[in-house]
A = this chain, B = another copy of it.
Amino acid sequence: MAQIEDFLESKGVRPTAMRLLVFKYLADRQAAATLSDVEASFSKAERTTLYRTLKTFEENSIVHQIDDGTGISKYALCEEGCNCDLERHLHLHFHCNKCDETVCLTDYKIPPLNLPKGFIANDANMVLKGICDKCSQN
């Protein structure tokens, strides 16, 4: 927990009790979390506080927001040393239609593409949908 504290501080985020808990919660998860997920795990805490915690994390490159096409924002910890702004760090996300979980495939980068003349991309989102590893082995 002291490590988390140091980590948050290194990112310029004050390590409040709530923030430490939310960070730990995200670290202990394999799948990306929605605000509702977080909310459900901390019934004592306020929605808004958790919302702002996630936003703060996002602004300071502690988590990245994931749009998996469900219409609900999800959040997952960034990779170590990740700068979410740089295209080269962009990885795939996989949304399972069975368990409804979304995971980062951090080792699978979005492939570079040639675009039509005049189109200049500086960001990308790629989500694959289907059956995840957990669900496919049953």
Contact = CB atoms under 8 A, between A and B. Distances in A.
B129 A122 contact: yes
B116 A113 contact: no
Contacts of A111: 111, 113
Given A136-B119, A136-B120, A137-B118, A113 B129 contact: no
A118 B107 CA distance: 15
Contact of A124 (B120, B126, B131, B136): B126
B127 A124 contact: yes
B118 A108 contact: no
Identical copies of this chain, number: 2
Contacts of A71: 67, 71
Given A105-B116, A118-B132, A118-B136, A125 B126 contact: yes
A71 B66 CA distance: 12
A94 to B, nearest CB: 6
Interface string A103-121: 0010110110101111111
The 9 closest A-B pairs by CB, nearest first: A118-B133, A121-B128, A123-B129, A121-B130, A126-B126, A122-B130, A120-B131, A120-B130, A125-B127
Given A67-B67, A108-B113, 9 more contacts: A69-B125, A71-B71, A115-B128, A118-B134, A119-B130, A123-B128, A123-B129, A124-B126, A125-B126
